[in-house]
Amino acid sequence: MSDFRYAPIYGRNPWLMVEDADEVADFFRNSGTPFVSHRRDIVHFGSQPHVYWIESGLVASSATTDVDKVRWIGLFSRRTLLGSVRAIGHGKAAMTLMATAVTDVSGFAVPLELYARWVSENPERERAMLLNCIAKSECQVESVLVNDLCSVDDRVEIAVAVLFRAAGITEAQLPAALPWDIPVSDIASLVHAERAMTSRAVGRMVSSGLLERSGRTFVLKAVPPAARLWWDA
């Protein structure tokens, strides 16, 4: 393991988007169209005229539309909006963005124009949504910094911890099993490393007693050292 420990700059979990407010949930549940995506479904949401409320499951975003060059930059778990940053900051402009269902996902979709109109109707709501979009962008920036500055071992420790945070698992609940089957290739997509390197890093977590693994099922025994500063934030 590297002696270098990257300290959070923005205090946000890398990759993992901050949740949205109850008011947003109510709007999407009342005005949206239900949708279901199955694991590995792909949506090119940067060119779609919708914003998506994630009710359950986990979605990863990529700054590409090339399925052979996927590098994930954001994770959207339950109670988060996918596409809100684009809707508020860029309107109808198409963006090179792709979303992959990491697990089975359910939620509600609202047309982009309807969402933008609802946000703009109330100045306090608009300000809250802008602040939330800034926070989501900070999560993505934090992930870029982690992948740029940290060793593969540290990146994998942080990514594994973030996946457990995405599932709503607290430190008090450890040891705990991740409720989703996550292949090593998914972790590699998060940490922007080759699968073989990622697999070896996961193996070192298992050898150190931090993690148990049975196929695609992971059990986290304790907060990994590289992830401690984020976990406590």
Please name the residue that has the structure tokens 């109670």: 79
- The band of 1, judged by pLDDT with boundaries at 50, 70 and 90, is very low
- CA-CA distance, 154 to 172, in Å (whole number)? 22
Alpha-helical regions (H) of the chain: 22-31, 84-90, 112-120, 123-149, 152-166, 184-191, 195-207, 228-231
Identify the pLDDT of residue 92: 67
β-strand partners of 176: 220
- CA-CA distance, 25 to 50, in Å (whole number)? 15
Identify the pLDDT of residue 93: 63
Residue 207 pLDDT exceeds 50: yes
| Beta carbons within 8 Å of 13's beta carbon, 6+ residues apart | 139, 142, 162, 165, 230, 233
Q: Supply the DSSP symbol for 176.
A: E
Residue 52 pLDDT exceeds 80: yes
Displacement of CA 213 from its chain's centroid (Å): 22
- CA-CA distance, 190 to 62, in Å (whole number)? 10
H/E stretch holding 177 reads strand 176-177
Tokens of 194: 């080759």
Three-point CA angle 66, 68, 72, nearest 5°: 75
Mean pLDDT, the chain, rounded, equals 90
Alpha-helical regions (H) of 32-111: 84-90
Domains and CATH numbers, the chain: 22-140 (2.60.120.10), 150-231 (1.10.10.10)
Give residue-wise pLDDT tens across range 155-204: 999 999 999 999 999 999 999 999 999 999 999 999 999 999 999 999 99
Q: Supply the DSSP symbol for 226.
A: G
Mean pLDDT for the stretch of residues 73-97: 82
Mean pLDDT for the stretch of residues 212-226: 92
Tokens of 156: 């994998």
| 167, 179 Cβ separation under 8 angstroms | yes
Buried b (16+ CB within 10 A) or exposed e, 167-198: bebeeeeeebebebebebebbbbbbbbeeeeb
